[in-house]
Amino acid sequence: MNGDKSHHVAWADRIGLNKTWAKGIERIWATYGTKDFENAVWGLHTIIVNVNNGPQLRKIIDDFIKNKYDLIEKELVGYVDTYAYRSEREILISNMLPDFAYFMVQLLEDNGFGMYKSEYDGEYDEM
């Protein structure tokens, strides 16, 4: 332990999100290469949160998504006014999903699945 700071389980872990995240990750790997893969990836995304006094996981992931979508839109500039735009966009998004899944899993791993340094003392502020 470091002086006045200690490691505490994040708020997310206290409500069981680590177990849910682990199940979501297992579902991603189990569905890779199937039509259910997209739902598994977006399903994990849906349950990742910003941790109070901890890593802003959801914000980091949403920034990643925005950057990927910006790149996709740049690739589609010539298609915008064509019938092919929608199908080309779906293909590019589908091709992005493995990178997106890997990014989320790596982010969770890098942040210790909800473990972070905290000054939480077990008391809640009154509202």
Measured CA to CA, the distance from residue 114 to residue 99 in angstroms comes to: 22
The pLDDT assigned to 117 comes to: 47
Categorize the per-residue pLDDT at 52 as very low, low, confident or very high, splitting at 50, 70 and 90: confident
User: pTM for the whole thing?
Assistant: 0.75
Element (H, E) at 115: strand 115-118
- CA–CA gap between residue 14 and residue 71 (Å, rounded): 37
55 Cβ neighbours under 8 A, 6+ residues apart: 111, 116
pLDDT greater than 70 at residue 8: no
pLDDT at 7: 52
Average pLDDT over residues 23-51: 95
User: Does pLDDT of 75 surpass 80?
Assistant: yes
pLDDT for 13 beyond 70: no
- SS3 assignment, position 91: helix
Q: What is the mean pLDDT of residues 92-118?
A: 84
